Structures are given as structure tokens and as C-alpha cells.
Chains A and B, each alone.
Chain A
């Protein structure tokens, strides 16, 4: 399967009469976007705001971040099974507004959403401070249940991202990158001497709004299975998560999965990237056993020499991570796992909830409990007062001058377990 990604670089975002992309600037008609959001009767009001790199803006609470993409050529549309028809995606050409994102916000569960600072200390920790963001702020109708609010906001994000993506449909991209995965037989013939590597992508599926969707299916109802890496670039996997902000995989992370990109980078040179095994992180022991058994079984069936395993979330999913690692290693397949740590504010506690001697190659995204100081910002998009109750905040996190003292946990994407960032710990 072969996909071309056409990057249209976005260096600025502005409101304008007409939505369009011109000379690297994304122009957005505010009213059209608002009308699009308000098509959903679950919202009583909607607003959109802009947040550019370096601006003194704090966005909170953040639910999801989505990159605008559009299918130019090839079957299906972005977010198959969710918004587009459930066609198999991942081939042809997709254009991307590289440097832009849609950020959805809202007080859904209160303590399970995060912060994006566009400047200062917080900005160093989140990749989204480097993007030209269109921030969606909408209020649910009274009495809307939390899970309904989550769903409505999730779809509002997709719709706005697809609306923006459409603007790139007929543009000539600044750069085109080609990603191709041959079938197993061809792959073997092409690179007989290279080690065969698969990627085991763990999806948050603990339930109660800790959910991920694959082609529209709730991941907790899936069996461990396989995807072509390029399917993920077309939005086959989306986030429906309200979990701790620092290590949740937003839809942006899925679309730009760094493990996939870095494995493609080496594909045909030092390794043969065979494909992606997706597996869930359910809460029941039988599910954990089944899913990790299947990860190991599929890795074996593919005849791979090594895998990279990435995680989402912490605590309970640590057990899934270790089960996957242990069982795959037991098949004689080498593993590297990517996780993050909860070593306490002073860094002296045990970092993971589970461990095994076979997990001898670990990449860490950092200690999420480390305390950081966020300076006050000129503008807050959303609600600053949730600082005291979001995961990683505590009584007194928010100071009178608007500055915040909190655990790194509060920053969206800060300790990402796909290895999206340079942050690490020792």
C-alpha cells in the first residue's frame, strides 16, 4: 500500500471573509466554522479563537488536537468509519495543512483535560505550541451527559478539521513524502538481509471516556489486529479520550505517529518495516491476557525479529505494556518499549506499576509528576480555574497573578509515549 502525503506548510492563521490558504497563511471564515459546530443541537453556543506560536495565550482545558487533512486521490476519506464512509484508506494522495491544528476545548470531566501554553515554560513541553491553532470553544446544552458532550465535541473537532483540510484539496503541496508498505512476500524479497520490524501500537481503551476508535469501532471491542501504517496517516485511528493530558495520544499524534515515521525513515536501509499491530488496554484481566497473547501471536506470525511497543496512559495500562513485552520477548522477538514515568514529585518513587526483567530496553517520555511553574499569560482561552482540579493540579495550583504551579501531567502531550518529544528522564 502506497500513500503520498502532500505537505502544505502553514506559517500563519487569520480570520477572513473567505476561508482559503494563500502564501502559507490559513484564512478562516469564523462564522462558517461556528455554523458548522452549531449544526449539532447538543451545543448551545460556539466560538472559535486563534492561537499562534509565541503568543501569550493559555488554552485550557484542552480535549483533542487534530491536524487538517484531505484525501486528494485514492479511496475513502479522512476519519473513515467516523465521518467518512468506512472505506479502507491509506493509499493514493492526502494533502496536509502542516503547521496548523484544530484544538477542541471544554469542561467535560474537569480533571481529565490539559493545558497548551503558546509561550513560556509550558510551551517547551507541548508540541502544539509550535502550531497555528484554531481553537474551538463550545458550550453544551444544559443537562447534556458527559459522554454525550465528549462525543459531540469529538465530532465538532473532526468536522472543523475536515472543513479546513478541504481548503488544501486543489493546492500544490510544498513537499511530497511517499510511504509504501509492500505485502509480506514482496517485502521479504525486497530486503532479504534486513531485520524485520513491526510496531505494536497500544490504544487506550479503559472505557468511561478513556476510549480510542478504529475505523469507527470502539477499541475496547476489538481484537488485536493489523493495519498498514499509512491507514493511520489517513485517520483510521482517532482519540476519544478524556484522560491525563501529558500522555494521552491525541488524534494529531495518531495522524503523525512518530514511531511510524521513524520506522519508515529506516525502512529498506537498516530494517524492513513490516506493519502495525494495534492492541487495546482493557481493564479486565481476561481482556489483557487475550490482547497481549494476540500481539505476541501476530508478531510471531509476521516472522519479525523486533518490535517497538508504545503505550498510552499509565498505571493500569502499565500491566498491558509489560504483558506485551514479556510475551513477545518470550517468542524470541526483541522489544523496545516506550513509556513515561510517575516517579513522584521528588522523582524517588518507583516509576511504573508493573515491571519485568525482559523489559530491558525502555525509552521514557519523562516523569509526569515533576513540578513545573507556568507563567501568567495575557489571554486565557477557556477556563483557568480548572488548574486546581485537573490531573496534576492540586489545591493552590492557580496563583492570584494567573501563574500555575502544577505537575507536568497537566501539559497536553508533554510525556507522550509514542516518543513524540525529546523529553526524557534519568
Chain B
């Protein structure tokens, strides 16, 4: 039988409301309050061995102390799962549930689950790091919350594969997961459009991301004195692709020395990119990484100098997260090397 430790606040332990929120953390054996509903929903697969009761004020005002005390209590029980809440729309309770669940997960390495209303401040704080089941906004939604939380709790405790948020009932956590829906996509689109047209509620399957729009830097003061670097996602590499940058979905970038290189030629450079017809880029790689033109400008005194290294990767199907990671690394190098400006080329 799986062992569960349950965390609730003073209100759900029937100690009292706000006036009793100062009570310190205590451990009680077995189920208390809403634990009973969980116990029943587990249907003999799991047992709540202990319930930790803690006042919301006590937890939030003595954060580190409360955390340490509670972690100790949980540790002694050696459970397979830790459940906090559900907290519904109680703000401090929600934050406490998220905070303690996160701490148990990180420090004890056991699966954790909590539940709360989507507008509870704890939801925004923890939904990307914890499974938080979306509940109604008051304790009247307890039955519904337990119905959603109990099956997910068992899956987590059994270390089963967790499906998409829409299937399991947890709040979308920024990690996209596939699942088979009831209707095909076109039918879902027609239904969504009919709802949108009639002013009814509809839920997009993919909320548009907030694009990381970068405000342009101020203009370079005197380009005739500036050191300029070349960076490309067009895949130009020394011929033979010495670092084996992938032709698609790149996991790395290359940094190559072009000291004394006046012109990129078919014999010395090529593209590693698998998403465009490479013929013209290979005949003259300057078409993608314009070393020749920058050398001319250098000679004519129109720029200070071309930076000694260029950075390159393949943009084809490469996850934005990877690309961002590359740039975060080499941007520091560029800064340290005193580069004033970068020409970024794509294909």
C-alpha cells in the first residue's frame, strides 16, 4: 500500500479561521478533514499515514523554520507521495501549499501534488514546477477536486507516465504533451469557431506565447572604430563540419577563427544546414557569411575591424530554447572580447 502524507491548514483541520492562523505545524496520525475523501478515493491503493496541520500565518511568517519542521515530519514518515491542499481560492494557503510541496519535492525527492483555483496567487508561482490540479474557487468544490486529484496522485506515487494537462486535470505547465482528443482537429476547429461567433466561451488549445521581442540597441557611435563580429544561423562551417553540427534540430554551435581569411571559398567552407538548397551557399559561402565584404570595409576604413572569430549554428527546426541558450553563452564571450556590434545572418 502506498503511503501518503497530507498537508492542510488550520481551517480544514477544524481548528478555526483567521484567528487561529498562528498555530504552529503539528503532525497527526492518519486522516484529518479532507483527507477522508482522498482516502476513500484511493480505493485501498494508498493510505494517508499522517496529516500535517499548520496555520497559514505561522507558515508564511516563519517560512524557513516552518519548512524545516515540516520537512522533518514528512521525512520520518518516508511516504510515497505528498499532497498539499487543495487550497481553492485561499491565497496564503495556496502559497503555503505550493511552497511546501516544492520544498518536499526538491529536498526529499518524492512526488508531490497540490490543487487550487487558477486565480490563487500560488498557482502562478508554482504551476510550472509542480503538478497543480485546477479546482473550483471555494471548498464547496472539494468533491470535484478530490475526484481529479486522487487518480493523478496515484499515478504520481506509482511513477506512471503523466499525460497531457487536459487529460489529467493539472494546470498547463509550459511543457507541451501530446494526447488523443475526443474529436478530430477539424471538428474541434468548427466547434471553436461556432462558439467564438456566438460569443460563447472557447478555450484555445495553444495560448500564443509572449514573444521575446528585443528592443534594438542604440546605434553604434562610430562604426569606423567598431569591432564587428559575424554570427549566422545559416550553417556556414569549415569544410567537413569539424564539430558535427546537426543539419536539423541543432544541439550546438561552432566558433571558428577567420584570422587572415579574406574570402570564404568552396574549398574551405560549406554549409551544414539541411533545410535549404545548399548549392549556392557552397559555391560561395560569403553569400551567407559575408567575410569578403567585411574585409573590404575593413580595408577601406569603413569599419574598425572584423572580429577574429565567427559563431555559427543551423537554424533548421532548432528549438528556440536551444538557440537562446547558444546566444546566452557566446554573447558573453563577444562582450568580453570587446566586440561592439554583431551582424547576424540567417537563411
Q: Show the binding face of A for B, using Cβ within 8 Å.
A: 111, 124, 195, 197, 208, 258-259, 261-263, 265-266, 270-271, 305-308, 310, 314-315, 334-336, 338-339, 341-344, 346-352, 355-357, 359-367, 369-370, 391, 394, 407-408, 416-426
Contact = CB atoms under 8 A, between A and B. Distances in A.
B185 A418 contact: yes
B182 A347 contact: no
B184 A258 contact: yes
B188 A426 contact: no
Nearest to A357: B208
Nearest to B274: A111
A54 B34 CA distance: 48
Given A111-B274, A424-B181, A349 B320 contact: yes
A342 B208 CA distance: 14
Contacts of A362: 204-208
Given A355-B209, A362-B208, 8 more contacts: A315-B275, A343-B319, A350-B319, A350-B320, A351-B209, A364-B206, A408-B178, A418-B186
A350 B322 CA distance: 10
A344 B190 contact: no
B205 A364 contact: yes
A342 B179 CA distance: 15
B189 A259 contact: yes
Contact of B317 (A261, A315, A367): A315
- 9 smallest CB-CB distances across A and B, nearest first, come from A419-B185, A419-B186, A258-B186, A344-B319, A349-B319, A347-B176, A349-B321, A343-B176, A426-B166
What interface size band does chain B fall in? 35 or more
Q: Which of B182, B197, B206 has the most CB of A within 10 A?
A: B206
A348 B175 contact: yes
B319 A423 contact: no
A182 to B, nearest CB: 19
Contacts of B190: 259, 262-263, 265-266, 271, 308
A261 B186 contact: yes
Given A419-B186, A420-B185, A308 B193 contact: yes
Given A315-B317, A360-B208, A361-B202, A426 B172 contact: yes
Nearest to A348: B175
Contacts of B209: 350-352, 355
B43 interface: no
B183 A422 contact: yes
A181 B207 CA distance: 34
Nearest to B276: A208
B196 A336 contact: yes
A19 B322 CA distance: 54
Interface string B303-318: 0000000000000110
A355 B186 contact: no
A100 to B, nearest CB: 21
B131 to A, nearest CB: 13
B174 interface: yes
Nearest to B167: A426
Q: Which of A261, A363, A366 has the most CB of B within 10 A?
A: A363
24 contacts: A195-B197, A197-B193, A208-B277, A262-B186, A266-B190, A305-B197, A306-B193, A335-B193, A336-B196, A341-B206, A343-B319, A349-B321, A352-B206, A361-B202, A367-B177, A391-B317, A394-B249, A418-B186, A421-B184, A422-B180, A423-B185, A425-B176, A425-B177, A426-B205
B193 A259 contact: no
A338 to B, nearest CB: 5
Contact of A422 (B181, B192, B317): B181
Nearest to B320: A350
Nearest to A344: B319
A338 B317 contact: no
A309 to B, nearest CB: 9
B165 A363 contact: no
Q: Which of B182, B187, B274 has the most CB of A within 10 A?
A: B187
B23 interface: no
Given A351-B206, A426-B205, A342 B317 contact: yes
A351 B174 CA distance: 10
Contact of B164 (A339, A350, A425): A425
Q: Which of B209, B277, B319 has the most CB of A within 10 A?
A: B319
B333 to A, nearest CB: 24
Contact of B321 (A315, A344, A420): A344
A359 B174 CA distance: 18
Given A349-B319, A349-B321, A258 B185 contact: yes
